[in-house]
Amino acid sequence: MKKRVLITGAAGFLGSHLCDRFIQEGYSVIGMDNLITGDLKNLEHLFPHPDFEFYHHDVTKYIHISGRLDYILHFASPASPIDYMRIPIQTLKVGAMGTHNCLGLAKAKGARILVASTSEVYGDPLVHPQSEEYWGNVNPVGPRGVYDEAKRYLESITMAYHSFHKVDTRIVRIFNTYGPRMRLNDGRALPTFIGQALRGENITVFGDGSQTRSFCYVSDLVEGIYRLLLSDYVYPINIGNPDEITLKDFAEEILKLTGNTVKIVFKPLPPEDPKQRKPDITKARTILNWEPTVSRAEGLRKTYEYFKSLPPEEWYKQPK
């Protein structure tokens, strides 16, 4: 009999790629989403599939699923600063009540649950690169506090359900991920730079551009999550690409890729923007035998092709 998996946040960027992967692997998939930041377009190719069901539901409300459930992947949450600053209470609620509901469902069904945490639990990190042992540097009342603390709570309640209720849990700490189905207007550096290049606008870099990021292509991330789910490792594990680049160099890479001759302009750095981000993936390498395989050049090319293929009105769409 096919294994049955519930994926929350299914209409979002990562959730929709996870739905694709689990369908490909022969699972029966229930996608759940309230569409607050997601889009059904990301899933419409799956609607005719006999093993795919979609539930339009807010996971902060009681979740009812009839029948058996083998796995839950809890990915519902606003993820980009532009979203979680616009809907801060919903962000806290989905991290707290949404995670609590998913864990309750896992307990009731005897299902294994994997929850999506983030490199943001490390805040503006004082150690570099960040290993899972680092406890982080987060300002709970800072502009990013709602997201960072929601995810720290998500990890805490997940470990509590594991130790107290013996629920079979997994925690993935995801670092910046990119690929097709991101939104051009989600405010993050990569889609912003590509969107500006597509529209022929100058590329805006905040600060002097010396702050670093590391970008993981979505298929690599999905592979890491798949391996973690099927492993027996219950502590948080970093999944991301350690190939670090400064934002200024990154903006130049995007210009080269798009063949655009616009300029790079510098604007003041937003408060509490992390200066450095780079995962230590020793655990993922040794425990999951995982490491990223898609180079930035290849991943950027695929992502650019995707954005370029969108109808041009999408290039000009304002955030929700």
Instruction: Name the site residues for ligand NAD (rule: CB under 6 A).
Output: 8-9, 11-15, 33-38, 58-60, 75-79, 94, 98, 116, 118, 174, 176-177
CB contact at 8 A, 238 and 155? no
Of 161 and 186, which has the nearer Cβ to ligand NAD? 186
DSSP code of residue 279: B
Q: Can you tell me the distance from the alpha carbon of 31 to that of 157, in angstroms, rounded to the nearest whole number?
A: 23
Of 28 and 176, which has the nearer Cβ to ligand NAD? 176
Query: DSSP secondary structure string, 112-170?
Result: EEEEEEEGGGGBS-SSSSBPTT---B--TTSTTHHHHHHHHHHHHHHHHHHHHH---EE
CB of 21 to ligand NAD, least distance (A): 14
Q: Can you tell me the distance from the alpha carbon of 215 to that of 220, in angstroms, rounded to the nearest whole number?
A: 11
Of 47 and 256, which has the nearer Cβ to ligand NAD? 47
CB of 169 to ligand NAD, least distance (A): 15
CB of 203 to ligand NAD, least distance (A): 20
CB of 175 to ligand NAD, least distance (A): 7
Closest CA to 32 of 43, 21, 48: 43
Of 4 and 180, which has the nearer Cβ to ligand NAD? 180
Question: CB atoms < 10 A from the CB of 28, how many?
Answer: 20
DSSP code of residue 97: I
CB contact at 8 A, 119 and 277? yes
Q: Which residues pair with 117 in a beta bridge?
A: 173
CB of 174 to ligand NAD, least distance (A): 4
- 147, 161, 178, 217: the catalytic one is 147
Of 220 and 260, which has the nearer Cβ to ligand NAD? 220
Q: State the Rg of the chain over Cα.
A: 19
Q: Encoding tokens for residue 88? A: 């801060």
| Locus of tokens 């408060």 | 271
- 233 in active site: no
Q: Can you tell me the distance from the alpha carbon of 269 to that of 300, in angstroms, rounded to the nearest whole number?
A: 24
Q: Which residues are marked as active site?
A: 147
